[in-house]
Amino acid sequence: MGQAGRCAWLDRADLFALQPVPDKPAPNYRRLSRYDETGLIWLLQGRPVVALTESTGAIENPTGAIIVYRKNNKLAGVQ
């Protein structure tokens, strides 16, 4: 079992959730724009997870800034 499993990240939605596409999406519709509907995996974009707890995942940007992803699908901000 990996660290995600040990930290209770076993709910598929926490890792892989993605906003469903509406029947008639607007031309500017972007599935990844809804952070409250997006799982951790989609937010990585090749960036490393530097810390993982039971309720958060910390993603490091190339600048060194850290974005904290809360398990309830909300970004906590940049540190």
Does residue 31 contact residue 19 with C-beta atoms inside 8 Å?
Answer: yes
Interatomic CA distance for residues 6 and 4, integer angstroms: 6
Does residue 4 contact residue 11 with C-beta atoms inside 8 Å?
Answer: no
Res 74 pLDDT > 60? no
pLDDT one-digit tens code per residue, 26-67: 999 998 888 778 888 888 999 999 998 888 889 999 999 999
